[in-house]
Amino acid sequence: MNQPQVVSPNSGRGPDDEPDSPTRRLRHAFLHHLFYTQGKFPALATKTDYYLALAHTVRDRLLQRWISTANEYTKNGSRTVAYLSAEFLMGPHLGNNLINLGLFDDARKSMSELGLNLDDLLYEEEEPGLGNGGLGRLAACFIDSLATLEIPAVGYGIRYEFGIFHQTLVDGWQVEKTDKWLRYGNPWELARPEWSVTVKLGGHTERMQDNSGQLHVRWVPNRTVLGVPYDTPILGYRNNTANTLRLWKAEAPEAFDFAVFNRGDYQGAVNQKVVSENLSKVLYPNDEHVEGKELRLAQQYFFVSCSLQDMLRIMKTQHVPLHEFHEKFAVQLNDTHPAIGVAELMRLLTDEHQMHWNQAWDITRKTFGYTNHTLLPEALERWPLELFKRVLPRHLEIIYEINARFLDEVRQRYFGDEARVTRMSLIEETGERYVRMAHLACVGSHAINGVAELHSELLKQDVLKDFHEMWPAKFGNKTNGVTPRRWIALANPRLTRLISGAIGEGWIKRLEELRQLEPFALDPNFRAGWREIKRANKRDLSDVIRKRCGVAVDPSSMFDVQVKRIHEYKRQHLSALHIIGLYHRLKTNPNLEMTPRTFIFGGKAAPGYWMAKLIIRLITSIGEVVNRDPAVRDKLRVVFLPNFSVTNGQRIYPAADLSEQISTAGKEASGTGNMKFAMNGALTIGTMDGANIEIREQVGAENFFLFGLTAHEVATVRGNGYRPQDYLDGNAELREVISLIRHGYFSRGDGELFRPLVDSLVNHDPYCLFADYQSYADAHERVGTAYRDSEDWTRMSILNSARSGLFSSDRTIAEYCRDIWNVQPVQVPILSHEDVRV
Ligand code: BZD
């Protein structure tokens, strides 16, 4: 561990101390925790000790809000949002909590009085990477906004022992390392074993009649698992609200199976513990690609059952009758990962609480809302029937019953249309049989939404067409947003100071107020300040790049950034082809005028997604060639920053000049990185896809670099038998690019390395890179020209930020509250422990 810096151990008395100043109190509390929580004296303390001492200091300061909030909600029996998500990609808590408490500057000061640098301590936090990408990060932004808007809400999920893997690069290839985020303990969570619940798995069902002739079903599981809740407080921005993120850890009901142990089988005895704990062991690292793994279904069921049982417990303590479940809780399904909740709530109400089917079904449908996050067929969850039955025999019966009743309704509405019945069924029966989770989610909820306008339209026209025809009123759109607290106030303190200096601080809670910046875009002084901030952020990022990649990049070059999961549909390789095109131009015409560019990539590939890993290898290979070629290195640099994460994102977005949002139109449901870039003053080069369309509408077409086919055109081109070879034949530069790769120019003469990638493009090109290549290159020409006029570029940069107010997750959440959840804010008065009577 790093050697500690010097801390003066003089009981926390600093230079110009007022006896009761906030900095002095922070310093005191910090030293207290260093001694009494970490058990360290400065001479032995590591940076982690310092981080933990500060984290505990901050935790003490938010506990009061947390307790007051819980107390207020309980007292009022407030209607509550339960956001069910298999992923919460939270990012580090300390900085965010300091911002929300209004203690950031005090903390910096008090640490520096002790000879410590706050940024170093913030950097020590292992981020809870309990998500893959967009979907998980959206859940994190949503619970931030819920707390800021003072909406009673709980985020329910899984406390994975290992989050998303840590990405390293070895010889230009991605290599995964386990994410041991709990290694040094987690100061932000409190275990609540007293609220543990039992979850059944496997086995069979039995039927019996009671004396009155009523039929009862008994589920006899072959194993049970204990779910233990771990709670993390989620602060609102400068209010008294602290909501809860409740994540479930799986444990064995008994650490030892004594019957087995007594037979002398120690291994067997411990085995149950190992098997049970597997349920919350590791996050599946595939985004937008599902494999039908039994453990994954068990994980989903585990956290959903724990959460619904927890809601029933809360109802009981607040004396809410069971038939008011949907009035007490609005439950949102973050994609289909928690969709088994529909069947589980039915089971809990009918089997365990003897409610009649019709009433239970009415409550269930009024309870759930379903958000879809992708149209990609490989991401739609379907479970092989046999597997499903093995894990959840009772739920399969319940799903059959839901399906029978639902299909009766379909037959009645669409007389004689058996093809439609087959299409809509919850069970897929052509070939191997599957349970279709999206259909279960649609049938079991009262509201269905996509995450950007185009996406919601395509859902209605395509994937969920039949459901839209049957229930048009259920469908709506909720365009995604991101929290400006983390993504501007915390990530970009320089810009935050400049903006607040100009228009006050209201924008942090009401992001539409950024519009007041528009007139400043014409003020040369303000522009100079804006430019200087971007430059300083770029210098900071250059330092990171030098340390991590060993490449020196020039902060005066244009920072052209693409950070997101690596996926063929996101088309990182389109950018790679274009970079090779630029390289080729420079090599063949050394005097070519070209705007100097630094291309920065970051993102993880699913460990089993070979093509995505090859795309990373292509990018790192291009970097190796380009960065050491004296003929081009002043104009082109290419870096792949390893381990893109929330922490790294916070350094990257503020330093970007150009944001690459270049997915094949119709494939990216929304995108949220696009919003983080725009807020921080990057201009976008992008397709008419996802929320890009709405961003362009907001910032103005003249401040956005558009290229490529539209979703409709993509469908037409593909429908007409797309032939990538035709585009290759018609484009000399593209031919040169492909030929360089083919001949091993970027692989030391190895013509085989990238063959799978090239063959896929030339023969199939499923994401239409070739069709969009020229349009993309032309758009980049316009970018290059625009960047050279730095005054005008700055004006456009300011306008991008000023017009990004719509993309605050506060706006998104306000719409969910109004249109789907029907919940109201609850203001929390602060209690002190003296107010509490036992
Ligand atoms: O959800 C993403 C979409 O691709 C983005 O366009 C969108 O902005 C965000 C938020 O709405 N989808 C995912 O991130 N999906 C997954 O991560 C995922 C994970 C496991 C299984 C299936 C999908």
The backbone region for 77, taken as left when phi is positive above 0, alpha when psi lies in -120 to 50, beta otherwise, is left
Q: What is the 668 CA–ligand 1 centroid distance (Å)?
A: 9
Three-class DSSP category at 244? strand
Average pLDDT over residues 238-257: 90
- Residue 639's contacts (CB-CB under 8 Å, 6 or more residues apart) are 545, 549, 551, 553, 598, 599, 600, 601, 623, 627
**What span, in angstroms and rounded, lies between the C-alpha atoms of 794 and 799?**
9
288 CA to middle of ligand 1, Å? 6
Which atom of ligand 1 is least distant from the CA of 690?
6
Q: Which of 3-12, 465-474, 574-583 has the lowest mean pLDDT?
A: 3-12
* Substitution candidate for ligand 1 out of 83, 333, 373 with most atoms within 8 A of CB: 373
Q: Is 249 a catalytic residue?
A: no
**CA 463, CA 374: separation in Å to the nearest integer?**
10
816 sits in which H/E element: helix 809-816
Confidence of residue 834 (pLDDT cuts 50, 70, 90): confident
Quickly state the pLDDT bin for 239 (edges 50, 70, 90).
very high
| DSSP-derived secondary structure letter, 353 | T
CB 310 within 8 A of CB 348: no
Question: What are the tokens at 822?
Answer: 């029907």
Q: Residue 241, SS3?
A: coil
Ligand 1 atom 5, closest CA: 671
Cβ-contact 166, 176 below 8 angstroms: yes
Residues near 220 by beta carbon (within 8 Å), at least 6 away in sequence: 203, 204, 205, 206
Q: Kindly give the distance from the C-alpha atom of residue 374 to the centroid of ligand 1, in angstroms, as a whole number.
A: 6
Catalytic: which of 676, 780, 795, 803?
Answer: 676
Rounded mean pLDDT, 614-627: 98
- Tens-digit pLDDT profile for residues 289-312: 999 999 999 999 999 999 999 999
Average pLDDT over residues 16-22: 75
CA 200 – CA 188 distance, rounded (Å):
29
Tokens read off for 92: 């580090």
pLDDT band at 545 (very low <50, low <70, confident <90, very high): very high
Pairing outcome for strands 223-235 and 242-251: antiparallel
pLDDT band at 9 (very low <50, low <70, confident <90, very high): very low
218 has which bridge partners? 206
Pocket test for ligand 1, best of 83, 142, 288 (most atoms within 8 A of CB): 288
Cα–Cα distance for residue pair 613/567, rounded to 1 Å: 9
Q: Is 20 helix (H, G, I), strand (E, B) or coil?
A: coil
The mean per-residue pLDDT over the stretch 278-285 comes to 97
Give the nearest ligand 1 atom to 137 CA.
10
Other residues' Cβ atoms within 10 Å of the Cβ of residue 834: 6
Which residue's CA is minimally distant from atom 9 of ligand 1? 134
**Ligand 1 atom with least separation from CA of 672:** 8
Known catalytic membership, residue 676 = yes
Of 137, 287, 378, the residue with max ligand 1 atoms within 8 A of its CB, to mutate for a pocket test, comes to: 287
Atom of ligand 1 nearest to the CA of 565: 14
Q: What is the pLDDT of residue 8?
A: 53
**DSSP letter for each residue of 653-717:** GGG-SEEEE-PPTTT-S--SHHHHHHHTT-EEEE-S-TTHHHHHHHH-GGGSEE-S--HHHHHHH
Distance of CA 310 to the CA centre of its chain: 24
pLDDT for residue 254 is more than 80: no
Residue 821 to residue 331: CA distance in whole angstroms: 8
Residue 11: pLDDT over 50: no
Range list of β-strands (E), 215-293: 215-220, 223-235, 242-251
Pairing of β 427-428 and β 197-201: unpaired
Report pTM. 0.97
Whole-number average pLDDT of the chain: 96
Q: Catalytic annotation on 373?
A: yes
Surface-to-core class of residue 453, CB atoms within 10 Å of its CB (0-12 exposed, 13-18 middle, 19+ buried): middle
Q: Whose CA is nearest to atom 20 of ligand 1?
A: 287
Lowest mean pLDDT among 3-7, 153-157, 278-282: 3-7
Q: What's the confidence (pLDDT) of residue 16?
A: 54
570 as an active site residue: the answer is yes
Report the separation in Å between the CA atom of 595 and the middle of ligand 1, taken as the mean of its atom positions: 34
Contact call for residues 58 and 97 (beta carbons, < 8 A): yes
Q: What mean pLDDT is predicted for residues 267-292?
A: 88
Whole-angstrom CA distances from 425 to 370, 380, 414, 466 are 18, 15, 14, 11
More confident position, 248 or 262: 248
Atom number of ligand 1 nearest to Cα 286: 20
Rounded distance between C-alpha atoms, residue 102 and residue 93, angstroms: 14
Long-range CB contacts (within 8 A, 24+) of 699-706: 699/799, 699/800, 699/803, 699/804, 700/799, 700/803, 702/796, 703/796, 703/799, 703/800, 705/658, 705/779, 705/780, 705/782, 705/783, 705/786, 706/779
How far, in Å, is the centroid of ligand 1 from the Cα of 137? 9
Q: Are 152 and 78 in contact (CB under 8 A)?
A: yes
- Cα 377 versus chain centre, distance: 20
> What's the rounded Cα separation, in Å, for the pair 601 and 618?
12
Active-site annotation holder among 40, 486, 565, 696: 565
Nearest to 95 by CA among 493, 455, 555: 493
Distance CA 810, CA 574 (A): 34
The vertex-267 CA angle with 262 and 269, nearest 5°, equals: 45
Hunting for tokens 């906030």 — which residue is that? 22
By alpha-carbon position, which residue is closest to atom 8 of ligand 1? 671
User: Measured in angstroms, how far is the CA atom of residue 133 from the centroid of ligand 1?
Assistant: 7
| Dist CA 343 CA 55 (whole Å) | 40
For residues 426 and 382, give the distance between their C-alpha atoms in angstroms, rounded to a whole number: 10
Q: Would you say 211 and 343 are in contact if contact means Cβ atoms under 8 Å apart? A: no
Q: Are the C-beta atoms of 472 and 634 separated by less than 8 Å? A: no
Q: Where in the chain are all domains bearing CATH 3.40.50.2000?
A: 80-92+127-478, 484-804+813-818
Contact 808, 506 (CB under 8 A): no
Gap between the Cα atoms of 482 and 682, Å rounded: 16
Q: Which amino acid residue places its CA nearest to atom 13 of ligand 1?
A: 135
- The rounded Å distance from CA 688 to ligand 1 centre is 18
Q: How many other CB atoms are found less than 10 A from the CB of residue 661? A: 27
* Residue of 672, 684, 687, 812 marked catalytic: 672
What's residue 258's pLDDT?
62
CA of residue 669 to ligand 1 center, whole Å: 8
Mean pLDDT on 236-242: 98
Collapsed DSSP state (helix, strand, coil) of residue 571: coil
How far is CA 24 from its chain centroid?
37
Q: What one-character DSSP code corresponds to residue 350?
A: I
Scanning 563-637, the segments in alpha helix (DSSP H) are 572-588, 610-627
Ligand 1 centre from 295 Cα, in Å?
20
More confident residue, 66 or 6: 66
Q: Which residues pair with 126 in a beta bridge?
A: none
pLDDT at 266: 75
At 484-528, the pLDDT tens digits run 999 999 999 999 999 999 999 999 999 999 999 999 999 999 999
What integer pLDDT is reported at residue 3 of this predicted model?
45
**Minimum-distance ligand 1 atom for the alpha carbon of 138:** 10
Q: How confident is the model at residue 2 (pLDDT cuts 50, 70, 90)?
A: very low
Q: Where are the beta strands (DSSP E) in 621-722?
A: 636-640, 658-661, 683-686, 705-706
| Ligand 1 center from residue 565 Cα (angstroms) | 10
Nearest-angstrom CA–CA distance, 254 and 251: 8
Atom nearest to 371 CA in ligand 1? 11
> Do β-strands 447-450 and 475-477 pair in parallel, antiparallel, or remain unpaired?
parallel
Nearest CA to ligand 1 atom 16: 287
Of the candidates 661, 659, 704, 694, which has an alpha carbon nearest to the alpha carbon of residue 799? 704
Q: Which of 246, 249, 296, 373 is catalytic?
A: 373
Q: How far apart are the C-alpha atoms of 497 and 490, rounded to whole Å?
A: 11
Residues, the chain, total? 838
State which ligand 1 atom lies nearest to the alpha carbon of 455: 6
Residues with Cβ within 6 A of ligand 1? 132-135, 138, 287-288, 290, 373-374, 379, 451, 480, 668-672, 690
DSSP track, 382-396: EEEHHHHHHH-HHHH
How confident is the model at residue 257, as a pLDDT?
Answer: 64
Count the neighbouring beta carbons within 10 Å of the beta carbon of residue 472: 9
User: Of residues 47, 564, 597, 613, which has the active-site annotation?
Assistant: 564
Does residue 564 carry a catalytic annotation? yes
223 contacts 278 by C-beta, under 8 angstroms: no
Distance set, CA 505 to CA 498, 514, 529 (Å): 10, 10, 18
Residue 19 — pLDDT band, cuts 50, 70, 90?
confident
**Confidence tier at 20 by pLDDT (50, 70, 90):** confident
Which ligand 1 atom minimizes the distance to the CA of 290? 21
CATH number of 80-92+127-478: 3.40.50.2000
State yes or no: is 411 an active-site residue: no
How remote is the CA of residue 508 from the centroid of ligand 1, in Å? 26
On the question of pLDDT at 337 being above 50, the answer is yes
Catalytic residue among 47, 56, 249, 570: 570
CA distance 683 to 798: 10
Residues in contact with 251: Cβ distance below 8 Å, sequence separation at least 6, in sequence order: 196, 225, 226, 227, 228, 273, 276, 277
Q: Please give the Cα distance from 586 to 594 (Å, whole number).
A: 8
Distance 368 CA to ligand 1 centre (A): 20
Q: Which residues of 150-183 are buried (b: 16+ CB within 10 A; e: fewer)?
A: bbbbbbbbbbbbbbbbbbebeebebeeeebebee
Q: Which CATH superfamily is domain 484-804+813-818 in?
A: Glycogen Phosphorylase B; (3.40.50.2000)
Extract the tokens encoding 363: 């409550």
Q: Flag whether pLDDT at 1 surpasses 70.
A: no
Q: Which mutation among 83, 135, 662, 767 tests ligand 1's pocket best, with the greatest number of atoms within 8 A of CB? A: 135
Which ligand 1 atom sits nearest the alpha carbon of residue 451? 11
The predicted pLDDT at position 256 comes to 54
Distance 740 CA to ligand 1 centre (A): 34
Please state, in angstroms and as integers, the Cα–Cα distance from residue 263 to each residue in 259, 268, 269, following that order.
7, 10, 9
Digit-coded pLDDT (tens) for 136-186: 999 999 999 999 999 999 999 999 999 999 999 999 999 999 999 999 999
Nearest CA to ligand 1 atom 17: 287
